[in-house]
Amino acid sequence: MATTQSNPQERTARELLTQRPLFLGVDGEGAAHYWDSYEFAVAAVSADGKAEKVELVETPFETLSQWCEYTRSERGWNIGPHVGGSLVGDLVRAVEA
C-alpha cells in the first residue's frame, strides 16, 4: 500500500487550516500558497517555515482569483496559480507573460 508524504510547507499549512489544503502555487519569493474553501482562507508558507493565514473576508479580495491576481502583482508566481483553470490555461498565460 502506497503512502504519500507531504512536504514541510504543506504540513505547516495543514496546521493552520481546517481542511486538507489545496496547493495553489509558489509565488516569486518562494512561498507556497494553499487554499481552504471551508475557511475561505489562504495559508502562505515560506521556504524557511514562516507562515501566514489570510482569511479573504479580512481583505479587500472577494474571490480566490482576486487573491491570486494580487499575489501575481505583488510577488509574481513561479509555479501556478492552479485555480479554476487547466494546465493548458496555465501554459497559455505563461506564454503570454
Q: Please state the domain extents for the chain.
A: 8-96
What mean pLDDT is reported for the chain?
Answer: 84
pLDDT at 87 over 60: no
- pLDDT band of residue 81 (cuts 50, 70, 90) is confident
Distances (CA, A) of 89 to 13, 25, 40: 26, 14, 24
pTM over the 0.85 mark: no
The three cell numbers of residue 84 are: 479554476
Q: What is the pLDDT of residues 18-53, one digit of tens each?
A: 988 899 999 999 999 999 999 999 999 998 989 999
Q: Where are the alpha helices (DSSP H) in 5-82?
A: 8-16, 64-74
